[in-house]
A and B are shown apart, each in its own frame.
Chain A
Amino acid sequence: MTQPLLALSGLTKAYPGVVANKDVSFNILPGEVHALLGENGAGKSTLVKTIYGLVKPDSGTMMLNGAPFTPTEPRAARASGVAMVFQHFSLFDAMNVAENIALGMENPPPQREIAAQVRAVSDQYGLPLDPTRIVGELSAGERQRVEIIRCLLQDPKLLIMDEPTSVLTPQEVEILFKTLRKLSAEGTAILYISHKLEEIRALCKNATVLRLGQVVGTCDPRTTSARDMAELMVGSALHVPERAARAAGDTILALKGLSANAPHQFGTALQDITIDVKKGEVLGIGGVAGNGQDELVAALSGEMRTADGMISYQGKNIGHLGPNQRRKGGLLTAPEERMGHAAAPDMSLIENAALTATTRKELATKGFLNWRKARSFAEDVITTFDVRTPGSNNTARSLSGGNLQKFVIGREIMQDPVVLVVNQPTWGVDASAAAAIRQALLDLAANGAAVICISQDLDELMEISDRFAALNEGRLSAPRPAQGLTVEEIGLLLGGAHDMEVAHVDA
């Protein structure tokens, strides 16, 4: 038996009130792709931060190549050959690619040499990247390449990847997997964190499953079904959303030639978006982040006003109306960014509930808020959507991501929307909470409301949408029935190659 590259034994780390890792032990062999599975809050991030030297364990030991390994800071971990690609990219928007790469290296050579090395590595691994470009202007896939190349330039023995594919198109995922397989063949071990189980089945030879900070099992993902792995993660049988067959109703919301400039620098302009949304349907809009999703949500919610005639709701022009007037009419929106956009982090759940529900739930009379009514509304949302919190007086910030997401989506659904726009409804939410949110969206549509679901998670869109359209560089493809769409067709839609290429695939 070969000596493990990295051997973890008995790692324990407690934070006040929560044990993040409890007696975690497993081995990573040289050159293997090892998956680390677990729901949100299972302790995956703490564990990899321990390996990368960002977190000091309370007890337990790590051995790297048979020698004790106790990195006190990332610099030490990097020096020992451990590199990490972060979930939320650790990049600097205002700097160029070469500068960003230099920041992640020990003793970097001068900029010009870095540029040459970047070109060499990007050729070798098929990751095209121009070292002089400003990172703020890159797509999510390109940004990830910056992170990967930063790691590769250091010739790592162990590469840690935290949720690397959440922002990539299927084609970009393929490129990434090719790179990872090549690295693995060259002897680099990869610790791969994801909750996309099909990806893990395609890529990994070994998996360790964490639940509530403890190792609850190991498996060979190539022979274990995704459902079994999910149940191992959750610890109970998984509920799969059910959809009732339904006929589409009348058009309720119509976009006609919607064009608008991006409100921010680094934003994407919307270009000539035309689509009819019908009662009782779920319209899925896919696309890689930064292709106009935020701008489309802003145009629909009323945060961004648009020219006359571009948006009509129930036959009336609403392009000039602000968010509250649109809410009054039943067009509700749950934006993507939980902290700061969908919820005010330091305000209580009651206050956050009142912030969007005042008009529709009539929580105010003559300009005075009725706090009793607001509280009972907030508590309704909390019970109906199983939001885990000690009470409605707690701040939004104190909730975990998944719980806050349930609250934010539930708050809109409980206001009986006629049209609900959601952006990334299950981003960073674990499997069981995600299933609950999807079910709630489906139920809403079954009751006759129209749901527009913007997401990067294609599995999610395929699961809940009736029609699917792709957003690419601010343009929306023609909608297609979601049933029967293949991953290849979607990938081509996302890549911006519209109808023509898809027809080609069909032929």
Chain B
Amino acid sequence: MDLSAINPILLLASLMVAATPIILAAVGELIVERAGVLNLGVEGMMITGAVCGFIVAVNTGSPFLGFIGAAIGGAVLSLLFGFLTQFLLANQVATGLALTLFGLGLSALMGQNYIGIKAPEFPDWHIPLLGDIPVIGPIVFQHDPMVYVGLAIVVAVWAFLKFSRAGLVLRAVGENHEAAHALGYHVVRVRMLAIMFGGACAGLGGAYLSLVRVPQWTEGMTAGAGWIALAIVVFASWKPMRLLLGAYLFGGVTVLQLNLQAAGMAIPVEYLSMSPYLATIAVLVIMRSGRAPGSLGQSFHASR
């Protein structure tokens, strides 16, 4: 085994890239769950976003338009979930699982003619001055714009929940929907908006895989990233900054194990491949604290 083949700067830099799709999907789900809705369809919305983004980007030649298309695709699919759970009061767990299966199938159908095509280039930014700082520059300041968009969304969500009136209402709806309704807040409206935001973010996360990370379309390419995003929301105790930590941990172990594989470590590949999941679960169990939103996963109907 040759550990010197692993370049620590490159490793840390690719950690940020590896974590980005999970950050995007997880921060969307965080908002959904803070509003009291449990959407297990993150994986399905991610893969739908991945294929929508890829199709738009290939046809227009613009990765930016691709990301916009991915956000719209994810949000439209989440509307289906919202309609079923918020208006028809379907069970959220079952509907979310169905959404994942549906999204996997739908994306395979949509992407049939796009297999084997390369996505249009999405160049890295080389941020002037900051990007030139030795060590830190290449790690933090020489990525594609979506890495920073993901970080910006996390910070915005944090500020939204902590400082804004709308964020307070959203938390109230998730905490006790009966009380929020009694005070005159529109529970279903708030939840629909949250669900759509979650869908759009999951779509962006999926498109990041198909347009930047891979960058190609293959069936089932999200490979469980949506489930990891769901787990990280819980591990983060529904707090945006902890979510960032969890996503970087998962991304870090993923990148590290890939490098170890490449370096020819004398451990069966299967163990290395499972290590990111094991590490995330272990930390999830150890750090778990904080309370879930009080109305999480319950259907609301203003019948009384």
Contacts and interface: CB of A to CB of B under 8 A. Distances in A.
A417 interface: no
Interface string B61-84: 000000000000000000000000
A94 B169 CA distance: 13
Contacts of B144: none
A236 interface: no
Interface stretch (B135-143, B174-182, B214-222): B174-182
Contacts of B184: 53-54, 73-75, 78
B291 interface: yes
A103 B182 contact: no
Contacts, number: 50
B165 interface: yes
Given A94-B294, A265-B291, A102 B168 contact: yes
Contacts of A53: 184
B168 A103 contact: yes
Nearest to B293: A94
B179 A95 contact: no
Contact of B172 (A78, A103, A265): A103
A294 interface: no
A155 B184 CA distance: 18
Contacts of A103: 168-169, 172, 180, 183, 185
B131 to A, nearest CB: 38
Contacts of A91: 176, 179
Contacts of B176: 90-93
A99 B170 CA distance: 12
B291 A94 contact: yes
B175 A90 contact: no
B239 interface: no
Chain B's interface: helix, strand, loop or mixed, by majority? helix
B178 A90 contact: yes
Contacts of B171: 92, 95
**Which of B171, B175, B176 has most chain A Cβ within 10 Å?**
B175
Nearest to B185: A103
Contacts of A257: none
A102 B293 CA distance: 19
Interface in B271-301: 291, 293-294
A476 B178 CA distance: 34
Contact of A90 (B168, B179, B291, B293): B179
Interface residues of A, number: 21
B168 A94 contact: no
Interface string A68-102: 00000111001000000010111111110001001
B182 A86 contact: yes
A108 interface: yes
Interface in A102-155: 102-104, 108
B183 A94 contact: no
A400 to B, nearest CB: 13
Nearest to A73: B184
A103 B291 CA distance: 20
Contacts of A95: 171-172, 175
Contacts of B175: 92-95
B172 to A, nearest CB: 5
A89 B175 CA distance: 13
Interface of B: 165, 168-169, 171-172, 175-176, 178-180, 182-185, 291, 293-294
26 contacts: A53-B184, A54-B184, A73-B184, A75-B184, A78-B184, A89-B179, A90-B178, A90-B183, A91-B179, A92-B175, A92-B176, A92-B180, A92-B294, A93-B176, A94-B175, A94-B291, A94-B293, A94-B294, A95-B171, A95-B172, A99-B168, A103-B169, A103-B172, A103-B180, A104-B183, A108-B165
Interface of A: 53-54, 73-75, 78, 86, 88-95, 99, 102-104, 108, 265
3 tightest CB-CB pairs across the interface, nearest first?
A74-B184, A90-B179, A92-B175
Given A73-B184, A74-B182, A90-B178, 5 more contacts: A74-B183, A89-B179, A91-B179, A92-B180, A94-B291
